[in-house]
Structure 1
Amino acid sequence: MKIIKISVLLFFAISTVLYAQEAQETNQELFKFFGDREGNEFRSASGKPGHNYWQNSADYKIDVTLDEENEMISGKITIDYTNNSPEDLEFVWLHLEQNRFTETSRGTLTTPIQGNRYTGDMDGGYDISNVKAVSGRRGTPSSKHIINDTRMQVFFNEPIEANGGTATISMNFKYQIPVKGMDRMGQLKVDDGTIFAMAQWYPRMVVFDDIRGWNIEPYLSAGEFYLEYGDFEYNVTVPYNHIVVGSGELLNPGDVLTSEQQSRMDKASKSDERVYIITPDEVGDPSKTRPKQSGNLTWKFKIENARDVAWGSSPAFIWDAAKIDLPSGRKAMAQSAYPKESDGEDGYGRSTEYSKASIEHYSNMWYEYPYPNAVNVAADIGGMEYPGLNFCGYQSKNKSLWGVTDHEFGHNWFPMIVGSNERLYAWMDEGFNTFINFYSSEEFNGGEFADDLDETRAYVSWLTSETREKIATYPDVANTRNLGMVAYMKPAMGLLMLREYILGHERFDNAFKAYIERWAYKHPTPGDFFNTIENVAGESLSWFWRTWFYGNGNIDIALDGVYPYQGSYLLVLSNKGEVPMPVKIKVTYADGTDEMVELPVEIWQRGDSWNHLLSTGKEVEKIEIDPSKITPDINGSNDVWPSTYYKD
């Protein structure tokens, strides 16, 4: 009688869950096409640049002088600008980011009283003079301009013609070099002199694009940069005893290096191990390190198809280098410049090793590094990236130094090669970079400094906190305590789930590489990324973009029950969270064998519960959802049957 009663109860339970599967409300809205991603002539629905995609360009020639005694910069800049847009331009906009370092700048006035990472000096700002703007070859010069905070509007007497019209903008500039430059540039005083880390150091063109026209958001704090591509020639004049390292290629080594240093540089270009250009013992002795013993020297650099340049200058640099091997057979060079305070095998003594490994990894896995040098500079900066050059914390050691070096060099792919708008979409560079850093760290030296991005459930407390914010939150708006998650970790976890759980390696890698190749040296939007991944991988992912990148919900896929049914097992599943997921289930049998069962995400289109018939003649011992724990499921206790197997 007892057996009959249990069977009847089980029959009613199974009947109830089977009926519920057909009767529940659907999740049609969750799976609808996400966002404004329809194609047009400029941006294809397939994710490619459209057949009429256009992009303006800016080529720079800059002469700048460092006045070490007065901690000043003065220079002249000439910009050759090409208007490839379909409309005439009566004016252009430039970034004047040194104007952030004033008492009345918007960035200063929007910094909390207690300060934060982006607190900067307030005694700087540009002194701009001799402005001249000419459109075309025969235009009449205009000096009319308006400076407002960190933006400068320059007017022309005749518009720059559409579809290839050109203009030249020139001016003189000078400013006081900040000591604290928002953790992106500035000064560091060490025993052998001052390290000048120079970034955002010249007027830079604002991007004019087909999405927003002029992208004139001010320079406030967390929001970084969005810049046009072009070729740069820049000459840096410094005191004779300084060493200068910069983005791109040094054009005049014969003028600024001794014959011994040139010989060492040549040796380094052929060496897998670091070669000193300036040894620790030589630092501070210009008679051994400098080709002249008084006055100034001018260092000349060039970089092509870049969006920015930065440089470092100091008499305190130890300098070493080694070659980088690239997939095409081309060679580049890893270089490190650092003071004695940073030296040692636990510090910058391994910087060039780290730099070489990082560049080679990303080149082999994703897209070949385009620049002739990759320079790591020790400075009083936590970590900041520019084309071909990083500034990293001078006190960093061991895993910390590997991590910051690898991360900043990873930025050469996002956003230096793939030029997304960092000021609006920090996740498209910081998040993508954090994702590729995971695989680089896994590979380096057999996992010496392996990353923990795949331990996604370590972040559940933040994912469930009431103060969490969406990935899509603009960086200047996000709470600084949340920025590490919304810009870095959560989007990186999203890509990790795509590669390791949703799409698999081959489909994801094909799509991600296609995104890089399509948008190299161009300006993609989030929609261009979404469309590329979907079209190349062959998967509709609107449900994922909507919930993970633009939503604030969580993953909680549950195994609510396991019932014997028609000689097999009925698995009762539910989606208790806001983010649907494909379901990967590991079934372990009493005989010691196991198998993986994979259910598509479409099971959740019909509602938040689903029943799956596990057809087997074996006795089941254990069933577990996502046994590798790739997804940051917020409640692991409902992932395992029987529950006695659950371990927090």
Structure 2
Amino acid sequence: MPIVPQRSLRPHRFPPGRRMVAWALALLGLAASILPARADPTAPDPAHIFAPFTWSVPPGRTRSAGGVPGPDYWQNRADYRISATLDGPTHQVRGEEVITYTNNSPDTLDELWVQLDQNIYKAGSRASFSSRFFGRDTTDGDVIESIWIENGKRTVPVDTLVSDTRMRVTLPEPLAGHGTALKLHIRWHHTVPGAWGGRTAITDSRNGPIWELGQWFPRMAVYDDVRGWDTAPYLGQEFYLEYGDIDYTITVPASWIVAGSGALLNPAEVLTRTQQDRLRQAGDSEKTIAIRAPSEITDPNSRPAKTGTLSWHFRMENTRDVAVAASPAFAWDAARIDLPPLPYTRGGKPMPRLAMSVYPAEAAENGRWSRSTEYVKSAIENFSRRWYPYPYPTAINVGGHGAGMEYPGMAFDGIKDEGRELFWITTHELGHNWFPMVVGTNERRNGFMDEGFNTFIDVYQSDDFNRGEWGPKRDAEYAPGQGTPAEQIANLLRDPNAPTLLEPTDLVTERYRHPVTYFKSAFGLTLLREQILGPDRFDPAFRRYIAAWAFKHPTPDDFFRLMNSEAGEDLSWFWRGWYAENARFDIGIARIVPVEGDPRRGTQIELHNNGSLVLPEHVAVHLDDGTTRSITLPVEAWMKGNVATITLPGGVPVRSVTLDPDRVLPDTNRDNDTLDVRHSPPPADDTPDGGN
């Protein structure tokens, strides 16, 4: 989640909209026929709406037409071994790392590219000119002290060139493909900015500073089959990273507690015996267990040593990144995640999966963070059950600056969060472990596949948690408090300046970032699941997408192709109208006419399409006897023109007709969604006079 003022990152509660149900075309004995009429040449063009979708990345041997990795799909790998020290007085992080880089591509590489994201804080960084959140204060960024290549038993110095947040490493000998590897050694340091740094911050608390470290070490750029080296500069809009194993040690003053992504491998060296026992107890507990209670934060006996330093050793496998939080002010609690153990062992026994929270004493006041670990546990278990099993040994919620930011196995949240706000932001940030931590989206280019997909899965966790305690959550933010989410999204579709979902992430201005990247993307998936495909087709296809691209790098086209193939539907009209365009949706009722003037012979309902986006439309027909008949008008009704006529059999006269009575569709003109027979215009000359 990009760095923005804290409040704008918060999930908001809006008036809940009722979920749509599937409507049958024939209900209660209703017979209907849908007749197209001559298209108005000034109206939306069906040939454009329903044209085959154009792929920006054509299918081939690496990416199949069915949206799954092809038989020749390849992906490079980066494994890290890191040793870092946090220096309190200078606010510096000093580290050494060895990157084992494996070139699985068919190409020979004569250079490597390394991401130096801390350079975003340097004076004159590109981000300081493209984002108002950078450039106010500065650091020296990533200072590279030395860098060399390990070649067998000897080391070879390399030439480098630093350009903003990227570093080119010129190789003394080309690196062949098809699994050839080398080791890159880097010694570096950087100064952590103050709390203004957001994702990388040091924040004061009552009992000492809280360090939150994201993108804190030099990391490999991605070389893929789409662009080769993807060297988009870091402008504050997320990441694109290779997968590998990260083994790292963080050395801090002995009084500090460290939370790190992955498994803590040496608890006996950094915890008291009591804390070790409590940690083991948490591994068997459904309830939250205090490892270090808030009341113990100022007790010197809550640490195994009172002076000197301790080194905390962590390991995370098959991950694209790791994050760290460290402080003398942390309380710490944990509970078991009900998932099978991973192949991490301690003392010859599998280590249980743990949901954990670390936070200062202030966060514990009035019970604000008392349920954090409960929320963590529930989110991880729910997302695992619904979509894809959580792959990591721990999931940690950090109470600190409040950046509202996600990393593999860790979320940076706010000290003052509480209640529904804490639940929603915890759920959202941990949901990012599925998008983009498991499904390795290129966030710097396709933010909607990161934020929007994750916001979508939030919806159902809010419904499921504790029988809807903090639900329902149907996200929208274009006009907070102004109607249902569908009505708010309709405001966005009416906006001629709104960017499309396929707009490159860095081009989306702050005004539209949440409305488009988060909420339009999430709402589109909700439409796809609840209105277009139905859960029975959507859910298996979406699970297939996650499983097929787990720990890989999908593009938007891969998602579109897979959903078409797995759900059994050509959704070109939806991908174009909702994603490639900001098309308007507007179906209106033109007239209600008795067949041959006699309702006993039947009734015709004439509908007009006035927009370039089509969706299945629910039509509620209200009869004179007080009953309502329901019809779903499929999108195919608009393939031959912009006028469709529904013919009802004779019987009880029709009193009125309403479109989308539950208001779950983003109709941009509600004025033409309801019509009473008494106010219906007379038949048009070209209106069909019966069904066929």
Q: Same fold (TM over 0.5)?
A: yes
Report the equivalent of 1:270.
Answer: 284
Residues 126 and 609 of structure 1: is their aligned pair in 2 closer, same or farther, counting only changes over 3 Å?
Answer: same
Name the counterpart of 2:3.
none
1:150 to 159, 165, 172: 165
Alignment equivalent of 1:503, drawn from 510, 519, 533 = 533
Task: Report the Cα offset of residue 458 of structure 1.
Answer: 3.0
C-alpha distance in structure 1 between counterparts of 2:359 and 2:35, whole Å: 69
Q: Would the aligned equivalents of 1:637 and 1:643 in 2 still touch at CA under 8 Å?
A: no
1:420 to 416, 441, 454: 441
1:315 Cα shift?
0.3
Match of 2:571 among 518, 541, 544: 541
For structure 1, which segment, 458-467 or 171-180, has the greater mean C-alpha deviation from structure 2 after superposition? 458-467
Q: TM-score, normalised by structure 2?
A: 0.87
AA aligned to 2:50 is F
Match of 2:560 in 1: 530
Give the 3-state SS of the residue equivalent to 1:558 in structure 2. Answer: strand
State the SS of the aligned residue for 2:209: strand
The answer to whether residue 521 in structure 2 is matched with residue 491 in structure 1 is yes
Whole-angstrom CA distance in 2 between matches of 1:551 and 1:498: 16
User: 69, 86, 89: which one pairs with 1:49?
Assistant: 69
**In the alignment, which residue of structure 2 is the partner of 1:636?**
670
Confirm whether residue 619 of structure 1 aligns to residue 656 of structure 2. no
Sort the Cα spacing of 1:591 and 1:281 in 2 relative to 1 into closer, same or farther, 3 A: same
What residue in structure 2 maps to residue 11 of structure 1?
A: none
Counterpart contact for 1:244–1:314, Cα < 8 Å: yes
In 1, Cα distance between equivalents of 2:358 and 2:560: 39
Alignment-mate amino acid for residue 31 of structure 1: F
Select which of 242, 245, 248 maps to 1:234. 248
* Shift in Å, 1:356: 0.8
Counterpart of 2:273 in structure 1 is 259
1:452 to 454, 470, 474: 474
Q: Letter of the aligned partner of 2:183 in structure 1?
A: T
Q: Which amino acid aligns with 2:227?
A: R
Residue in 2 that maps onto 1:558: 588
Could you say which residue in structure 2 is the equivalent of 1:74? Answer: 94
- Partners of 1:23 and 1:66 lie apart in 2 by 69
User: 1:291 corresponds to which residue?
Assistant: 304
Q: Which residue of structure 1 lines up, in the alignment, with residue 257 of structure 2?
A: 243
Q: SS in structure 2 opposite 1:94?
A: strand
> Does structure 1 residue 60 correspond to structure 2 residue 80?
yes
Structure 2 Cα separation of the partners of residues 103 and 370 of structure 1: 39
Partner residue in 1 for 2:689 = none
What's the offset of the Cα at 1:524?
Answer: 0.1
- Does 440-449 or 202-211 show the bigger shift? 440-449
Of the structure 1 ranges 85-94 and 610-619, higher mean CA displacement relative to structure 2 is found in 610-619
477-486 or 181-190, larger mean C-alpha shift: 181-190
Contact 2:38–2:643 at 8 Å: present in 1 too?
A: no
Distance 1:420 1:637 in 2: 40
Q: Is the 8 A contact 2:149 2:158 kept in 1?
A: yes
- How far is 1:104 from its partner? 1.3
Distance 1:289 1:315 in 2: 10
Structure 1 residue 377 and structure 2 residue 406: aligned? no
2:222 alignment counterpart: 207
The offset of 1:129, in angstroms, is: 1.8
1:579 corresponds to which of 599, 602, 613 = 613
Aligned to 1:366: 387
Q: Could you tell me whether the CA contact under 8 Å between 1:139 and 1:157 is conserved in 2?
A: no
**Are the equivalent residues in 2 in contact too, given 1:120–1:182 (CA < 8 A)?**
no
Q: Distance in 2 between matches of 1:234 and 1:247?
A: 10
In structure 1, the partner of 2:21 is none
Q: Per-residue deviation at 1:642?
A: 2.0
Which structure carries more relative contact order (alpha carbon 8 Å, separation 6+)? 2
How far the C-alpha of 1:85 sits from its partner, in A, is 0.4
Query: How many angstroms apart in 2 are the aligned matches of 1:134 and 1:153?
Result: 17
Cα distance change on mapping 1:504 and 1:91 into 2, 3 Å: same
CA deviation string 1:290-340 (max 9, x = no partner): 111110000000000000000100000011011111389995211000001
Paired with 1:383 and 1:503, the residues of 2 have a C-alpha distance of: 33
Q: How does 1:459-474 map to 2 (within 5 A)?
A: 459-474=489-504
SS in 2 for 1:437: helix
Deviations, residues 239-279 of structure 1 (Å, cap 9, x unaligned): 00000001000000000011100111111111111110001
Question: Per the alignment, do residues 333 and 23 of structure 1 end up closer, same or farther by CA in structure 2, a change over 3 Å counting?
Answer: closer
Cα offsets for 1:34-82 (capped at 9, x unmatched): 1225420000000010000000000000000000111111010100011
Relative to structure 1, the CA distance from residue 146 to residue 210 in structure 2 (aligned partners, 3 Å threshold; closer, same or farther) is same
- 3-state SS in 1 of match to 2:353: strand
- The equivalent residue for 2:603 is 569
Q: Could you tell me which of 449, 458, 462 is aligned with 1:437?
A: 458
Does residue 1:178 correspond to 2:193, yes or no? yes
Contact 2:53 2:572 in 1 (8 A): yes
Q: Which letter maps to 1:425?
A: N
Task: Select which of 301, 313, 317 maps to 1:300.
Answer: 313
Distance 1:426 1:19, change over 3 A: closer
C-alpha change, 1:376 and 1:565, in structure 2 (3 Å) is same
Structure 2: gaps (5+ residues): 1-33, 343-350, 476-483, 680-692
| Counterpart secondary structure, 1:381 | strand
| Larger CA deviation: 38-47 vs 469-478 | 469-478
Name the structure 2 match of 1:35: 54
Distance 1:438 1:624, change over 3 A: same
Q: Which residue of 1 aligns with 2:148?
A: 132
* Counterpart in the other structure of 2:622: 588
Q: Distance in 1 between matches of 2:68 and 2:381?
A: 27
Aligned length: 621
Cα pair 1:423 1:475 within 8 Å, conserved? yes
Q: Paired residue for 1:164?
A: 179
Distance 1:357 1:215, change over 3 A: same
Secondary structure in 2 matching 1:385: strand
Q: Residue 640 of structure 2 aligns to a residue in which SS?
A: coil
The one-letter code matched in structure 1 to 2:638 is W
Report the counterpart of residue 10 of structure 1 in structure 2. none
Match of 2:426 among 405, 408, 412: 405
1:547-580 CA distance string (max 9 Å, x none): 1111122211112111111511111111112211
Unpaired runs of 5+ in structure 1?
1-17
Distance 1:378 1:335 in 2: 11
Does the aligned pair in 2 maintain the 1:417–1:520 contact within 8 Å? yes
**Partner amino acid for 1:614?**
L
